[in-house]
Amino acid sequence: MSFPKMRVALVSSIVLALLATIAGCVTSYSLSEGEAERRTVEMMKSSFRAQGQASLARLEQDEVQAVCSQYHPGQAIPREVLEKIEKAQLAAIKYPAKLMGNWQAGERVAQTGTGFQFSDGPTTPVGANCYACHQLSRQELSYGNIGPSLYQFGKLRGTSEAIQKYTYGKIYNSNAFSACSSMPRFGHSKILTEAQMADLTALLLDPASPVNQ
């Protein structure tokens, strides 16, 4: 090893040691990774109580949730992990005969944020709450930005059979196209009905929808 190379190696090992020390101070872990996972699940199960429709079974993770929980925002998920999830989730999508419903009904579903909370009664309407995270129509100014803007979604893509299938599929199971997405798997997890998902597909694609004006 030449002298300059040694210096580089020395400096980088010092930097690494410093970083490790800082990380150690910040995180200060005392449990092994496996033990921490086991204790977390155990602690959560003893810390929540079932209420209304929210049973303790909701704390149990499926494979997608368990895998995705291991990666924090900004952390790259290995390609093979992503592909494995996407392939399995895509294979489980069930498409109805009619992919596009009514955009007016879709707009109501997109605006509704209730459903599935322990405070929701059995007859509380279940919505998709799209506007919480996405811009859709330009009339609605109260929209979030966790997801991308969907304004002119259909105008930019058209309404071909393939686009309808993609759009319905993405609503049905976002993880089939983008593993570990923040977007709920509305069909896969039985949050929305087939008709509601077709109505949302129309909201996004119908040329008459406010999304495409």
Partner 1 sequence: MRKQVLAAVVGFFCCVGAANAQNTQQEIERYRQMIADGNPAELFEAKGEGIWKQKRGPRNVSLEQCDLGKGPGVVKDAYVELPRYFKDADRVMDLETRIVHCMVTLQGFKPEDAKRNPFSNADRTADMESIVAFVTAESKGSKMNVAVSHPKEREMYQIGEKMFFYRAGPHDFACTTCHGEDSKRIRLQDLPNLTAQKDAQRAYTTWPAYRVSQSTVRTFQWRLNDCFRQQRFPNLEFTSDASVALTMFLARNANGGVFAAPALKR
Instruction: Tell me which of 6, 10, 23, 60 binds partner 1, using CB under 8 A.
Output: 60
- What residues have CB less than 8 Å from 155, skipping those under 6 apart? 207, 212
- Token pair for residue 88? 């399995």
Cα distance between residue 160 and residue 167, in whole Å: 11
Cα distance between residue 143 and residue 95, in whole Å: 29
170 counts as binding partner 1 under rule CB under 8 A = no
Q: Pattern 94-133, binding to partner 1, x per CB under 8 A?
A: ----------------------xxxx-----------xxx
Cα distance between residue 84 and residue 157, in whole Å: 27
The residue range among 48-56, 91-99, 102-110, 197-205 that interacts with partner 1, by the rule CB under 8 A, is 48-56
Scan residues 145-164 and list those touching partner 1 (CB under 8 A): 145-146, 149, 151-152
C-alpha R_g of the chain = 23
**Burial class of residue 174 in the structure, from the number of CB atoms within 10 Å of its CB (0-12 exposed, 13-18 middle, 19+ buried):** buried
54 counts as binding partner 1 under rule CB under 8 A = yes
2 counts as binding partner 1 under rule CB under 8 A = no
Q: List contacts with partner 1 (CB under 8 A).
A: 27-31, 36-37, 39-40, 43-44, 46-51, 54-56, 58-61, 64-65, 68-70, 72-74, 116-119, 131-133, 135, 138, 141-146, 149, 151-152, 175, 182, 184-185, 189-191
